[in-house]
């Protein structure tokens, strides 16, 4: 028996099977979790389909009220959700608290948006209007690094636009989503939101389901490609937020001591398990040694531990698979560069890795070319800024990037040459609900957040009336 339940058609139900969810800091079983069967997935989609016509007709003001009520209930249960998030995901409690309250803020943000009818031609011969209609059932698929906030990229705009949803969190972090299901059960009409869990085996069926009109997916590039293929037969709409290998480029006019803390945070926040973490850092040769030393100092001073303990800055890696992968990437990096901080797993229980800085490493190595998705940063020397931008762009990924300089105009000229969906100047990885977010190249398809993100949960309809 599990303390957690699926949410299907407004009811909390047991899974047809169960699975264990581990706490990555202790490797102990945190909870028995329901695991939905294919039949339960079908029930969830059927419930969402049945709920759609009435929800689509519900006035926007009512839908906004529901989003605000969800934000209220998240805030009211914020401490409990944050503790659970730390236990299932690993991140420090302060970060988990930030994620929970950020999730509520994302729900509230969307209540400020509308989908007004836009008149684009009002002439003697015709009146042409653009309407934004809901699509139907949305499949929302979320990864394990930010289970709540990434869900909040999807649910609020989907619901505001009049769609209904089947949400599937990642198998290693399902508990906060299931808890959310309990909390919102009576806020929404039955079937408007359904939450199911799996052991990485239902994503394909959700993607291919003929009654699902759109998949909003966040996860790896490899799985994103499977989603795209799976959606093809039914011509589903898809939004794909995928992997990244964000470059940061530090110009020669930067003060290493002053800038290193922000660079460190950009790379090591959430243990580097952030799609838009800075994953390779290009530093001008004139300040290279000093910057490497400053970053190594910060890495050595970082407190790694159980996220529930006060003072912890970096928790464990989220799961064993990622833990093993990052260790492997570090071992490989040792052959191609010099480790000046960290370099190993902590030993003992839990998926802990000391924050690792690797210098004297270059492009053409796993650590630089691949998405490491963990607490290890390669620092690469360059001499010509244009060349650094070219190297940053020579990647199949194109999610984010940043330029750091004491001269913002100089940085801006390089920023516009970056081939990524987001580019920051003197910061990295800043996201906000009103700022559209999406990847170029293999980092994704489409946009989330902001008005552009809301529009992706709608079908454009043109009404053209003769006069």
- Contacting positions for ligand NAD (CB under 6 A): 141-145, 150, 168, 170-171, 200, 203-204, 207, 218-220, 223, 226-227, 241-244, 275, 371, 373, 399, 439, 444
| Cβ nearer to ligand NAD, comparing 171 with 305 | 171
Backbone φ, ψ for residue 296 (5° rounding): -65, -40
Q: Which residue is nearest to ligand NAD (CB)?
A: 203
A 10 A CB-CB count for 426 gives 14
Active site residue 294: no
Closer by beta carbon to ligand NAD, 163 or else 245: 245
Closest CA to 376 of 226, 254, 268, 270: 268
User: Active site includes 275?
Assistant: yes
113 versus 227: smaller Cβ distance to ligand NAD: 227
Specify whether the CB–CB gap between 13 and 35 falls below 8 A: no
* CB 189, min distance to ligand NAD, A: 26
Q: Is 163 helix (H, G, I), strand (E, B) or coil?
A: coil
Coil/strand/helix, residue 375:
coil
Start-to-end CA distance of the chain, whole Å, equals 66
User: In this structure, are residues 345 and 327 in contact, taking their beta carbons and an 8 Å threshold?
Assistant: yes
**Closest distance of CB 291 from ligand NAD, Å:** 25
CB 214 within 8 A of CB 135: yes
Nearer to ligand NAD, 64 or 168 (CB): 168
Do residues 266 and 278 lie in contact, with contact meaning Cβ atoms separated by under 8 Å? yes
Considering the complex, state which of residue 228 and residue 302 has its C-beta at the smaller distance from ligand NAD: 228
* Of 144, 63, 151, 29, residue with least CA distance to 100: 151
Identified catalytic residue from 275, 371, 448, 456? 275
Q: How far is the CB of 159 from ligand NAD (least distance, A)?
A: 20
Helix (H, G, I), strand (E, B) or coil at 33: strand
Nearer to ligand NAD, 93 or 142 (CB): 142
Nearest to 91 by CA among 347, 273, 267, 244: 273
When the beta carbons of 268 and 373 are compared against ligand NAD, the nearer one is 373
Q: Pick the catalytic residue: 88, 99, 241, 456?
A: 241
User: In 3D, which of 173, 147, 190, 154 has the Cα closest to residue 46?
Assistant: 190
> Helix (H, G, I), strand (E, B), or coil: what is residue 339?
strand
Given a contact cutoff of 8 angstroms between Cβ atoms, the answer to whether 399 and 421 are in contact is yes
Cβ at position 104, least distance to ligand NAD in Å: 19
For tokens 């590039």, the residue is 221
The answer to whether the Cα torsion of 151, 154, 159, 165 is positive or negative is negative
Between 149 and 304, name the residue whose CB sits nearer to ligand NAD.
149
- At CA 304, angle to CA 300 and CA 308, rounded to 5? 155
**C-beta of residue 281 within 8 angstroms of C-beta of residue 378:** yes
Question: CA of 454: how far to CAs of 133, 162, 236, 447, in Å?
Answer: 11, 11, 17, 9
Q: Just list the catalytic residues.
A: 241, 275
């Amino acid at each position: 028996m599990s303390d957690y339940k699926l949410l299907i058609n407004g009811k909390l139900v047991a899974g047809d099977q169960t699975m264990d969810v581990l706490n990555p800091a202790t490797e102990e079983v945190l909870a028995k979790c329901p695991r939905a069967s294919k039949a339960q997935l079908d029930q969830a989609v059927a419930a969402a389909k049945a709920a759609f016509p009435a929800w689509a007709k519900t006035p926007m003001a009512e839908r906004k009220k529901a989003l605000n009520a969800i934000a209220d209930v998240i805030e009211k249960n914020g401490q409990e959700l944050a503790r659970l998030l730390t236990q299932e995901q690993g991140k420090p409690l302060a970060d988990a608290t930030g994620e929970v309250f950020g999730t509520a803020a994302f729900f509230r943000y969307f209540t400020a948006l509308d989908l007004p009818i836009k008149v684009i031609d009002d002439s003697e011969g015709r009146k042409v209007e653009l309407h934004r209609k809901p699509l139907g059932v949305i499949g929302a698929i979320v990864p394990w690094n930010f289970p709540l906030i990434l869900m909040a990229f999807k649910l609020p705009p989907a619901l505001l636009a009049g769609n209904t949803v089947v949400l599937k969190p990642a198998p290693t972090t399902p508990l906060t989503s299931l808890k959310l299901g309990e909390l919102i059960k009576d806020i929404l009409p039955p079937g408007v939101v359904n939450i199911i869990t799996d052991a990485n085996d239902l994503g394909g069926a959700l993607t291919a389901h003929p009654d699902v009109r759109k998949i909003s997916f966040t996860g790896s590039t490899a799985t994103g490609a499977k989603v795209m293929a799976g959606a093809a037969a039914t011509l589903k709409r898809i939004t794909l937020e995928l992997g990244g290998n964000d470059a940061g480029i530090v110009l020669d006019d930067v003060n290493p001591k002053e800038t290193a803390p922000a660079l460190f945070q950009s790379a090591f926040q959430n243990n580097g398990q952030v799609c838009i973490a800075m994953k390779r850092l290009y530093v001008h040769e004139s300040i290279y040694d000093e910057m490497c030393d400053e970053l190594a100092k910060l890495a050595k001073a970082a407190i790694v531990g159980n996220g529930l303990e006060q003072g912890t800055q970096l928790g464990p890696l989220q799961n064993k698979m990622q833990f093993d992968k990052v260790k492997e990437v570090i071992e490989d990096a040792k052959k191609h560069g010099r480790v000046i901080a960290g370099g190993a797993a902590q030993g003992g229980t839990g998926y802990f890795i000391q924050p690792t800085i690797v210098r004297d490493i270059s492009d053409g190595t796993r650590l630089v070319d691949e998405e490491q998705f963990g607490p290890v940063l390669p620092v690469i020397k360059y001499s010509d800024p244009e060349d650094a931008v070219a190297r940053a762009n020579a990647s199949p990924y194109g999610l984010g990037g940043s330029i750091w300089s004491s001269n913002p105009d100089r940085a801006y000229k390089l920023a516009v040459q970056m081939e990524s969906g987001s580019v920051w100047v003197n910061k990295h990885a800043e996201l906000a609900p009103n700022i559209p977010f999406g990847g170029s190249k293999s980092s994704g398809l489409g946009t989330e957040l902001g008005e552009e993100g809301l529009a992706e949960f709608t079908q454009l309809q043109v009404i053209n009336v003769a006069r």
